Amino acid sequence: MTSLALDERLRRASPPEAHAPAPAEESAEELAALHSHLGRPALGGVLAEARAKSSRRPRRAERRGLIASGWADLWASLDLQLAASEGIGEDLFRARVPRTFGEIGVERPRAAQLLRLARHIRNRYTALDLAADLGGLDRWAGEIAAELAG
């Protein structure tokens, strides 16, 4: 449900202006501070993944330009994939699978933090990265946490 809530916000977002300033990317020190709650082995793994992701090109400003120029094509592709998720909430409910942060005991502040941090865990571009590149991740993480946390 979290991914669906983020997808909805992304779908309602306006395409970025190709030449507008991009939100800053986190420095290595900021990443280490953000993930300081992790134990040493986990922290090392997350930082390695985040470094590998951040070292890839294009950088955020370039990605925003690419996103802006390909916005319609991006959504033409994603809309087909997202259509397949219609009804997933009901399917999860019938299967008695937790669908919200609240159902697994995660409260709002922690849920918002988890949404902001999750994009650093794997060296691949995700919807969380797109939200960050658009400058909406912090706001949307708070909104989604309010909707889905206890």
User: In sequence order, what DSSP letters do the residues of 25-93 get, joined into one string?
Assistant: PPPHHHHHHHTTTS-HHHHHHHHHHHHHHHHSSS-HHHHHHHHHHTHHHHHHHHHHHHHTTTTHHHHHH
Residue 140 lies in a domain: yes
State the helix-helix crossing angle for 137-148 and 108-117, rounded to 10 degrees: 140
What is the average per-residue pLDDT within 35-39? 86
Residue 38 lies in a domain: yes
Residue 19 lies in a domain: no
Residue 114 lies in a domain: yes
**Among 18-32, 56-70, 120-134, the range of highest mean pLDDT:** 120-134
Whole-prediction pTM value? 0.84
Count of domains observed in the chain: 1
18 band by pLDDT with thresholds 50, 70 and 90: low
Residue-level pLDDT at 150: 67
Residue 34 lies in a domain: yes
**From CA 134, how far away is CA 115, in angstroms rounded?**
15
Residue 50 lies in a domain: yes
Q: Which domain holds residue 79?
A: 2-14+24-148
Residue 85 lies in a domain: yes
Whether residue 6 has pLDDT greater than 90 = yes
Residue 134 lies in a domain: yes
Instruction: Check residue 14 and report its DSSP letter.
Output: P
